[in-house]
Structure 1
Amino acid sequence: MHTLKRTSWAIAVGLLPALVIYIGIAVVPIAMSVYYSLVDWDGLSDVRYVGLDNFKEILTDPVFWNAVKNNVIMMATGLAGQLPLGLLLALALNRTMRGIPFFRTVGFLPVVISAVIVSLIWSKMYGVEAGLINQFLGLIGLDAWKQNWLGSAAWAMLSLGVTYIWQNCGLYMVIYLAALQNIPSEINEAAVMDGATGWKRVLFVTIPMIRPTIWVTVVFAISNSFRVFDLIYVMTAGGPAHNTEVMTIYMYINTFTNIRFGYGSAASVLILLFSLIVIYAANKLTGKEGKTA
């Protein structure tokens, strides 16, 4: 009994520094955002309490709902683009061949490159006159297909989605690769003996074995989609005409460009609520799937 108490105290003392840091960098800023969301403040004048007026103004602003729609598009891009591509790359690289470590490194490289650098590289590729994509289209005689990729309301979100997939699919590749390598070799050997080869083995053996990992990446992709900022801000800054503006950019513009700290704090609280609701729904769904699996 005394040993158990001493162990509990040791665990508590060990966790205390991490808990203090977490409270300082996460809980306290969230509490401050909630407080400032209830006031009107420009950073210089006196703080004026306005209650829920900031939230009412945001929820009646069509620009905000357009930003919500764009966040949903980015979430769908992550779920339908990054996860399947990451899984395909992991399946292709889950083997012992010469050069496989090199290709794994290349596949993961976009994840460790600064998002600003990624944005600048792809902005150059999407350039109207000297962009690599338009130059390639002209080279193969498809001049009619040339577009102002980032300046067109019809193509801007699609262009950003391609960059978003390229930047992050390597992360999910590594996660899936780790899961695939944890599948016991006996299971794969038994599947081959039973005639499950190629895509049959992938669909009926491999994917069911890594299903918990897939559900984790689903939640992770949803969370990332609500935090996307630097990629879009550098490439389009939310333009043209708010067509690529997401909730984080909406919050940033109102906070630091329009100098409305209370309004921006209210937007950040709504981003947190929206993301928690979607992640909670995803967890409920994945939990039910896990029980039925």
Structure 2
Amino acid sequence: MHTLKGTKYAIFLGLLPALVIYIGIALVPIGMSFYYAFMDWDGISPMTFVGLDNFIEIFKDDTFWVSVENNVFIMLTGVVGQIPLGLLLALLLNGKLKGAGFFRTVGFLPVVISSVMVSLIWGMIYNTEYGLLNGLLGVVGLESWQRNWLGDTSWSMISLSIAYIWQNCGLYMVIFLAALQNISEEVNEAAELDGATGLKRTFLITIPMIRSTLIVAVVYSISNSFRVFDLIQIMTGGGPAHATEVMTVYMYNNAFMNMRFGYGSAVSILILVFSLIVISIVNRISREKDA
């Protein structure tokens, strides 16, 4: 009994530094945002309590709803693009592929590159005058397909989504690869004896066995989509005409460019609420399928 109590204290002391850091950099700022959300404050003048006025103004602003639509687009393209692509790469690397270690490193490289570098790389690819994409289209005789990829409102969000998928799919590749390597060889051997090979084994045996990992990946992808900022801010700044403005960019523009910290804090609270709602829906759906 004494040993068990000592172990509990040791575990608590070991977790205490991480807990303090988490409270300081996560919970405290969230609490401050809740407080500022009900204030009118420019960062210099005294704060004025305005109640729900910030939230009412946000809901009446058409630009905010455009940013919500763009966030939904990023969320869907992230889930539909990153998860399947990461799973496909993991399945390929989990097989007897020559040079798998090299391809694993190359696939994960965009994840460790800073978002600033990713933005500059894709900005050069999409550049209208000397960009790689328009250059390749010109070489193969498809000049009619050349366009201002980041300046055309019809293509700007699609172009950003491709860069977003490229930047993050390597993370899901590593997550799925770890899950695949934890599947017992006995399971694969039993599946082969039962005649389940190739795609049949993948869809009937492999994917169901890593279902929990898939759900975690989907939840993380959704959470990450609500936090995307630097990639869009550097590549387009939310333009043209708010066509690529997501909620984090909308919050930044109002809080730091317009010096409306109370209004920006209210937007940040809505970002948190929206992300929690979507994640709760996904978790509920996954639990119903398990039942």
Aligning the two structures, in what range does the TM-score lie when normalised by the shorter sequence?
A: over 0.9
**Partners in 1 of 2:27 and 2:141 — Cα distance?**
57
Deviation at 1:275, TM superposition (A): 0.8
Match for residue 109 of structure 1?
109
**Partners in 1 of 2:175 and 2:18 — Cα distance?**
25
The alignment-based identity, stated in percent, is 65
Match for residue 171 of structure 1?
171
| Cα distance per residue 1:59-94 (max 9 Å; x no partner) | 111100110110000000111000000000011111
DSSP 3-state at the match of 2:226: helix
Deviation at 1:190, TM superposition (A): 1.3
Match for residue 219 of structure 1?
219
Deviation at 1:95, TM superposition (A): 2.3
Greater mean deviation of Cα atoms: 15-24 or 251-260: 15-24
Match for residue 208 of structure 2?
208
Deviation at 1:252, TM superposition (A): 0.2
Match for residue 287 of structure 1?
287
Match for residue 14 of structure 1?
14
> Any residues of structure 2 matched to 1:144-293 within 5 Å, and which?
144-289=144-289, 291-292=290-291
**Partners in 2 of 1:21 and 1:110 — Cα distance?**
28
Q: TM-score, normalised by structure 1?
A: 0.97
Deviation at 1:96, TM superposition (A): 3.4
> Any residues of structure 2 matched to 1:54-65 within 5 Å, and which?
54-65=54-65
How well do the aligned residues superpose, as a CA RMSD in angstroms?
Answer: 1.0
Match for residue 42 of structure 2?
42
Paired letter, 2:158 = L
Paired letter, 1:142 = L
Paired letter, 1:249 = V
Paired letter, 1:83 = I
> Any residues of structure 2 matched to 1:15-94 within 5 Å, and which?
15-94=15-94
**Partners in 2 of 1:98 and 1:200 — Cα distance?**
23
Moved beyond 6 Å, runs of 4+? none
Q: Which runs of 5+ in 1 are unaligned?
A: none
Paired letter, 1:53 = D
Deviation at 1:285, TM superposition (A): 1.5
**Partners in 2 of 1:139 and 1:126 — Cα distance?**
15
Deviation at 1:270, TM superposition (A): 0.7
Deviation at 1:277, TM superposition (A): 1.1
Match for residue 122 of structure 1?
122
**Partners in 2 of 1:3 and 1:180 — Cα distance?**
38
**Partners in 2 of 1:97 and 1:132 — Cα distance?**
30
**Partners in 1 of 2:101 and 2:12 — Cα distance?**
41
**Partners in 1 of 2:175 and 2:251 — Cα distance?**
31
**Partners in 2 of 1:10 and 1:87 — Cα distance?**
39
Greater mean deviation of Cα atoms: 239-248 or 280-289: 280-289
DSSP 3-state at the match of 2:237: coil
**Partners in 2 of 1:35 and 1:255 — Cα distance?**
15
DSSP 3-state at the match of 2:254: helix
**Partners in 2 of 1:230 and 1:25 — Cα distance?**
19
Greater mean deviation of Cα atoms: 242-251 or 273-282: 273-282
Deviation at 1:22, TM superposition (A): 1.2
Q: Which runs of 5+ in 2 are unaligned?
A: none
**Partners in 2 of 1:157 and 1:166 — Cα distance?**
14
**Partners in 1 of 2:176 and 2:96 — Cα distance?**
16
Paired letter, 2:101 = P
Match for residue 136 of structure 1?
136
Paired letter, 2:153 = A
Paired letter, 1:239 = G
The answer as to 2:3 corresponding to 1:3 is yes
DSSP 3-state at the match of 1:227: coil
